[in-house]
Amino acid sequence: MAVRKKATKRSTARSRAGTARRAQGKALVLVATRKGAWLYHGDPARKSWRADGPHFLGHIVNHVMLDPRDGRTLLAAAKTGHLGPTVFRSTDLGGTWKEAARPPAFAKAAESGQPTLRGRSVDHTFWLTPGHASEPGVWYAGTSPQGLFRSQDGGVTWEPLSSINEDPQYREWMGSEQDGTPDGPKLHSILIDPRDPAHLYFAMSSGGVHESRDGGATWQVLVKGMQVVDGFDPAVITFHDPHCVRMCPTNPDRLYQQNHCGIYRIDRPADEWVRVGRKMPKRVGDVGFPMVVHPRDADRLWVFPMDGGSVWPRTSPEGLPAVYTTRNGGKTWQRLSDGLPPREAWWTVKRQAMTADAQDPVGLYFGTTSGELWASRDEGARWACIASHLPEIYAVEAANLA
């Protein structure tokens, strides 16, 4: 399906390309929501923002990603309340979109090579990761229910990775439809080592963290040190619930993880996660969804704590939204809430809805469950709301236009 927006709201593809040329060095923030997607174009100072949207109004958009290898290709993971899931692709920064010829879909049960396994269908593509810099055209996707997919042609056609999707052990670890988030268990946090395109990680909520050193042919579990909900057995991989895992760009041996049960760090080749969230203030705790790493400083990261007490309200603790940061790999934490609502703000931030740009100082962005887009131009010291009244925000990504 080719989608072209109304002429009244959009310029032609030709003039869009012109806009892209004028946008040298400008920031672009990609916002995916429960009811469509918006692109926010910033000026070089990141002070004023121009909204381009809605794209796919009414579609449930879980993720929009820019391909950093060409600086102009966008992929969007979308479905509607009625229609099945698909992926849209734009090669002109959202001027026009074309549907993937073969979106992520599981193997038919009879053709999976595992006749004992129940055939599954993708409910939605949840996560998109551009491949290694040396592999233009390669993308990875994570789905709900949990599945891992790869495209070798820039997102036009997608193939399931049977080493995960049809592996009886992995299928057991994925658990049932009930072993996941309210809108379905998800495969997410697909990470690629910038030093080695065959070295991959992904995480499942639920189902643990996993690593491959052979391009996805075989996988090893990486959950040692991670805690599970009280009363459950951490030896059972299904019970592990990583919410978001990030790799430090300047030190790919260091990963940080926001888990259902705390904040963790690991420094490979060590195989044990360390719960650095224990140093967070007790009344805030270290439960949350997003995890953001600094583009240049592997000791620096940001999290957005939420209330994980009693019935798991998943709101800002005590209605007081705040970002927390560490400058020393999790030894100590500081609260960053200047500019955020001082009281009675009961929203929170989902696992894909907080991100950093690569500028200096780093710009931070997060989108809320209540449809507000917040930004900081100074690494979290001061926050400003740059858009409100959007639908529930599912994902926020920042890119510098090449």
Partner 1 sequence: MQVLIPTPLRSYTNEQRMVEANGATLAALLDDLDRRYPGIRFRIIDEQERMRRHVRFFVNGDQVFDLGRSLEPHDEVFIVQALSGG
Give the tokens for residue 2: 């080719």
Tell me which stretch binds partner 1 (CB under 8 A): 39-47, 114-122, 228-236, 376-384. Answer: 114-122
Residue ranges in 61-80 that form contacts with partner 1 under rule CB under 8 A:
80
Tell me which stretch binds partner 1 (CB under 8 A): 113-121, 204-212, 220-228, 246-254. Answer: 113-121
107 forms part of the interface with partner 1 (CB under 8 A): yes
Helix then strand then coil, % of the chain, to nearest 5: 10, 40, 55
57 forms part of the interface with partner 1 (CB under 8 A): no
Tell me which stretch binds partner 1 (CB under 8 A): 9-17, 81-89, 271-279, 291-299. Answer: 81-89
Q: Which of 119, 120, 131, 38 is nearest to 76 (CA)?
A: 38
Q: Shortest approach of partner 1 to residue 84 CB, angstroms?
A: 5
Residue number, 33 or 259, with CB nearest to partner 1 = 33
Where does residue 280 fall: left (phi above 0), alpha (psi -120 to 50 degrees), or beta otherwise? beta
- Of all helices (H) and strands (E), which one includes residue 210? strand 208-212
- Of all helices (H) and strands (E), which one includes residue 33? strand 27-33
Q: Shortest approach of partner 1 to residue 99 CB, angstroms?
A: 5
120 forms part of the interface with partner 1 (CB under 8 A): yes
119 forms part of the interface with partner 1 (CB under 8 A): yes
105 forms part of the interface with partner 1 (CB under 8 A): yes
Q: Which residue has the tokens 């990504």?
A: 397
Burial tier of 233 (Cβ tally within 10 Å: 0-12, 13-18, 19+): exposed
Q: Shortest approach of partner 1 to residue 181 CB, angstroms?
A: 18
Among 82, 195, 343, 389, the residue binding partner 1 under the rule CB under 8 A is: 82
Sheet strands side by side (includes 159-160)? 124-130, 139-144, 147-151, 159-160
Q: Shortest approach of partner 1 to residue 107 CB, angstroms?
A: 8
122 forms part of the interface with partner 1 (CB under 8 A): yes
Among 11, 12, 15, 121, the residue binding partner 1 under the rule CB under 8 A is: 121
Return d(Cα 202, Cα 128) in angstroms, integer.
Answer: 12
Q: Shortest approach of partner 1 to residue 90 CB, angstroms?
A: 15
The answer to whether residues 117 and 171 touch, using CB atoms and an 8 Å cutoff, is yes
Number of residues that bind partner 1 (CB under 8 A): 21
Among 33, 73, 86, 212, the residue binding partner 1 under the rule CB under 8 A is: 86
Return d(Cα 235, Cα 329) in angstroms, integer.
Answer: 27
187 DSSP β-pair partners: 204
Phi, psi for 164 (deg, rounded to 5): -115, -55
Whole-Å CA distances, 387 to 241, 269, 288: 31, 42, 23
237 forms part of the interface with partner 1 (CB under 8 A): no
Q: Shortest approach of partner 1 to residue 79 CB, angstroms?
A: 8
Residue number, 81 or 269, with CB nearest to partner 1 = 81
Question: Does residue 157 sit in helix, strand or coil?
Answer: strand
Q: Shortest approach of partner 1 to residue 7 CB, angstroms?
A: 15
Q: Shortest approach of partner 1 to residue 379 CB, angstroms?
A: 38
Among 57, 101, 133, 270, the residue binding partner 1 under the rule CB under 8 A is: 101
Residue ranges in 3-32 that form contacts with partner 1 under rule CB under 8 A:
3
Residue number, 121 or 220, with CB nearest to partner 1 = 121
**CA 200, 205, 211 angle in degrees (round to 5)?**
20
**Strand-strand pairing, 60-66 and 49-55:** unpaired
108 forms part of the interface with partner 1 (CB under 8 A): yes
Site for partner 1, rule CB under 8 A: 1-3, 80-84, 86, 99, 101, 103, 105-109, 119-122
